[in-house]
Structure 1
Amino acid sequence: LFFCLAGGISADKNNTSNSTDSVCPSVHQHPRYVAVKKNMPIYFICYSNDPKNMQWYKTAEDSEDICGLDKNTSQYTINRTDTFINLTFFRVTYEDSAIYVCDRKNIPEKKYLHACGTELRVMGHSSIKQIQNRNTLKDAIIIIQSILLVVFISIPILLLLDKVSDSKKSPEEDHTYEGLEVEQMATYEDITPFRDVKAKWTVGEHPGEE
């Protein structure tokens, strides 16, 4: 069986000189956080120099109540050795989702528990699938953001390089007719072959006659 204590119970001085000395005492819990499917087994390990005087407590983040897990039940079992104390759940349920703290026995209030507990979250199959889908969506969003970032950075750089290339390859100006005035351009009358033909026309000869 397990017993539950409300947070309003006053603490005895002999029982409260334990975990207030440090945030994490000399005990070591493993794991610190675990999420499992419903009806799956799970166990927690608490290493301590004095496991016989240690026990597991169940509490919630938004509650001041604590439940001491001291004896074996049909839902869980507690195993003590010379160096550790184990808490094993045979088949977890949604009600088992809580924070489990391994601390000294007979602690009356939650504020005297150390802050290095183990959080257990029991989820259904759909919840785990939703988490996987959410992680996949996050990965896709990160990839898309990376591609867009590369595109937005590359476009200005390419435009700048193209502008610099155009400035270096500007075509040379055509100076073929530079300095040639219209008055200096030869007419048909100034060209010798055409001038002789015009002279024959003035005499009365046809260009085709000899």
Structure 2
Amino acid sequence: MSEAKLTDVDPSSPEGGAKPVKGPAKRRNKRQPDEVLANVMAAATAAFTRDGFKGARMRSIAADAGITIQLLIYHVKTKERLWELVMERILTEYQQFHQSRAETIGATSAAERLRQLISDIVLFQSKHPELHRIMTQEGMQPSPRLSWLSERFTRANYDEFLDVAGQAQREGAIRADLGLPRLWYAIIGIAAVPFSVAAEYEYLTGKNPFSAGEIKRSIELIEHMVFGG
């Protein structure tokens, strides 16, 4: 999606809404491309989180974003591509966040890098609870979206964890009998579920999972599970 193309248009245009609006209406209604793109991404993320891929409707997303369905389809083409754009935006943000934290912290041993990875996962999930909600829906059955997501993003995250945790095992920092693939999913569960089901968590525990104290306790729980002590 080209940000520069997401401007107000004439929805009656035969090109699907690509013709610029002229005259006073354009001056009155024109919005910046960045604003329109942000609105589209917010509306699409909410729809895919709430309704899943199958339940999300392009027309509703366009309406929530404040644009015409013709404009949305003209630039995005398909719901599949819009879903990819949403996931690219979230997971690229995670990669940048994780990389910047690694450069700042400068962890040296595998154990230190594993602790940093655990902390990054919890912190990012707290900022983007929609990620786990969408991933849970997509992970329930094979699909082209799951394959695309795995090969573009999640396999790299999984492989990084196996590498760092494997080194930590060889260093003796974590138990040698821990099954690392299962440990990965245990960490993801503890890190993400409190935020994904935040209303239930707060109702039963009386605590806000997004509070600094609860986030810290989630990190500490995972570290205790992984490192013991």
Question: Fold-level match, TM-score > 0.5?
Answer: no
- Kindly indicate whether structure 1 or structure 2 has the higher relative contact order, using CA contacts under 8 Å at least 6 residues apart: 1
Structure that is richer in strand per residue: 1
More helix by share: 2
TM-score normalised by structure 2 residue count: 0.24
TM-score normalised by the chain length of structure 1? 0.25
